[in-house]
Amino acid sequence: MASHSKQQALQINDKNYKELINNEDFSLVLLLTASNPQIGCVLCTEFMPLYNHFAASYYENLSKQGSDQKVILAVADFIDSRKYFTELQLNNVPKVYYYAPTAAKQMVPNSEFEFVASDPYRQLVTWVVAATKLSPELFKLVEKRDYSNIALNILIVVGALGVMYKGQKKIVKMIYNQRGWQGFSIIFVILFTCGYMFNVIRGTQYIKTNKDGTNEYFIPGHQAQLGVETQIVSAIYGGCTLAFILLTDKLNSMKNKRNKNLVTILMSVIIFLLYSFLVSCFQEKKIGYPFWLLKF
């Protein structure tokens, strides 16, 4: 048991736990958990990856320093250690125990980790260092490089450069396309004018449902809003923008005077209706706003 040198927590089960409880030559930090989904231990599921990372970092730091292995980090899962859990008389999990070296069989830990909500990794390191008297440097978090993501990013960059090289004429044409930049600028301005960043920063809900089942699309006041508000106001501004572009740009190319007058009247009516609806929306946000065009 004391010769364990793998870069991970030692797995304890009903076959090897008797060696564990006679830890004469080493200290032991033991996680008792229940990962079976049928048991439904949420904290076990959340804490297990952190503990595995903690153990892997410890063993890697230990190997780099060339130190003797004085502390073993282990984990016992209920599904593989039912007999051991029965002997420990556990009523709930997860538990993290510390056992100091002893020649006698011991079931009662010398210390128990208290789970806290804030920064559990730092709290675990502090507790283990206090119990084992080891250097905190041995438990410094080691981040493993994900080479698959690095390779994927390289492939994406190389692929993008290849596409840009083959279609450079089309890309240059798109870059210098005035209509494209006009459209992008309009969309960008409308998006941020309508409160998109407010939703992102505050994490606002999309729509508000009342107790009677009815929905609210606007919340009064300027310190709160719903996600659907942004979409509604963006659609209004977008419609007004399109109608205004048709009035100022496309009408000049129309030769039929009658059709030109009809389109002018139609676009003007659309702008008036949309702006009236926009004012009504503002009245929902600012209670008591006295001005209006058409009431919706």
What residues have CB less than 8 Å from 94, skipping those under 6 apart?
A: 31, 32, 33, 34, 41, 43, 44, 47, 115
Query: Is pLDDT of 51 > 80?
Result: yes
What is the mean pLDDT of the segment spanning 263-284?
Answer: 88
Q: Which of 135, 147, 2, 130 is nearest to 61 (CA)?
A: 135
Using 50, 70 and 90 to split pLDDT, how confident is the model at 3?
very low
Model confidence over 150-186: pLDDT tens digits?
888 899 999 988 888 888 888 888 888 887 888 888 8
Alpha helix locations (H) across 14-73? 17-20, 42-65
Class (C level, CATH) for 10-139 = alpha beta
> Which amino acid is present at 71?
V
Query: Is pLDDT of 45 > 50?
Result: yes
Query: Is pLDDT of 190 > 60?
Result: yes
**pLDDT at residue 2, rounded to an integer:** 44
Sequence ranges of the domains in the chain? 10-139, 177-285
Highest mean pLDDT among 83-92, 96-105, 252-261: 83-92
Query: Is pLDDT of 6 > 70?
Result: no
Using 50, 70 and 90 to split pLDDT, how confident is the model at 33?
very high
Query: Is pLDDT of 252 > 80?
Result: no
| Residues 230, 218: Cα–Cα separation, whole Å | 10
| Residues 114, 127: Cα–Cα separation, whole Å | 9
Using 50, 70 and 90 to split pLDDT, how confident is the model at 291?
confident
Model confidence over 109-161: pLDDT tens digits?
889 999 877 788 899 999 999 998 888 888 888 877 767 888 888 999 999 88
- Least confident range from 109-118, 195-204, 237-246, 268-277: namely 195-204
What is the mean pLDDT of the segment spanning 91-99?
Answer: 91
Name the token pair of 192.
Answer: 């941020």
Using 50, 70 and 90 to split pLDDT, how confident is the model at 289?
confident
**pLDDT at residue 197, rounded to an integer:** 83
pTM: predicted TM-score of the whole model, two decimal places: 0.51
The average confidence (pLDDT) of the chain is 84
**pLDDT at residue 29, rounded to an integer:** 92
What is the mean pLDDT of the segment spanning 201-206?
Answer: 82
